Structure 1
Amino acid sequence: MMGMIYIIFLMFMIGNLIFVSKRKHLLIMLMSLEFIVLSIYFLMMLYLMMINNNMYMLMVFLVLTVCEGALGLSILVSMVRTYGNDYFQSFNLI
């Protein structure tokens, strides 16, 4: 059981490391955010199985995750149509 928690924590930390180191591309940042959310989902699933609780909260979490992913992809598509790429440095925020 503790081995699984260490693996999930390692997944979370790797996702954060990728998020911080690849901050120039929006697509890579979105993929690392989904990886972080996946590790949180595994942690919640493990915790809810450990306390013998129902899994309805996981369904709510997955719905919110899908909404977050759809919003991120729509921002990415809008950026690519407007600026031609997903670099953050290619457009001016002012």
Structure 2
Amino acid sequence: MNFFFFFFFFFGLVSLIYIRKHLLLCLLSLEFIVLSLLLMVFNICLSFQFFYMYIVFMTFFVCEGVLGLSILVNMIRFHGNDYLNSIYLW
């Protein structure tokens, strides 16, 4: 069963590496990685009766998702698209 979670994590990393054109697709890949990590943490918390750590991790992952969506909305407002090549960091 743990191999299944590592497969999810590896598939999310591969999709993050190969899909780097749009910010939305990168955020979806990151959320897939976060979902696999959350499933791993849930599996560990289920075996050790340690459920409050699961709530803490879930809170951090939700905050990470909201932060990513706010960056996406601001980027579309200021640049008009979500291409990562249109960002100038200089």
Q: TM above 0.5, one fold?
A: yes
Q: CA deviation at 1:54?
A: 2.4
TM-score, normalisation: structure 1: 0.90
Q: 2:24 aligns with which of 22, 27, 46?
A: 27
Does 2:89 match 1:93? yes
Instruction: State the AA in 2 paired with 1:70.
Output: V
- Aligned-partner Cα distance in 2 for 1:15–1:91: 24
TM-score, normalisation: structure 2: 0.94
Secondary structure, counterpart of 1:24 in structure 2: coil
Q: CA deviation at 1:23?
A: 1.3
Runs of 4+ in 1 over 4 A off after TM superposition: none
Where do 5+ consecutive residues of structure 2 fail to align?
Answer: none
Aligned to 1:78: 74
Distance 1:82 1:7, change over 3 A: same
Identity fraction in percent: 46
Q: Size of the alignment, in residue pairs?
A: 90
Secondary structure, counterpart of 2:58 in structure 1: helix
- Aligned-partner Cα distance in 2 for 1:70–1:55: 23
Where do 5+ consecutive residues of structure 1 fail to align?
Answer: none
Q: 1:11 aligns with which of 2, 8, 19?
A: 8
Q: CA deviation at 1:50?
A: 2.1
Instruction: State the AA in 2 paired with 1:85.
Output: N
- Aligned-partner Cα distance in 1 for 2:44–2:50: 11
- Aligned-partner Cα distance in 2 for 1:56–1:75: 29
- Aligned-partner Cα distance in 2 for 1:88–1:49: 39
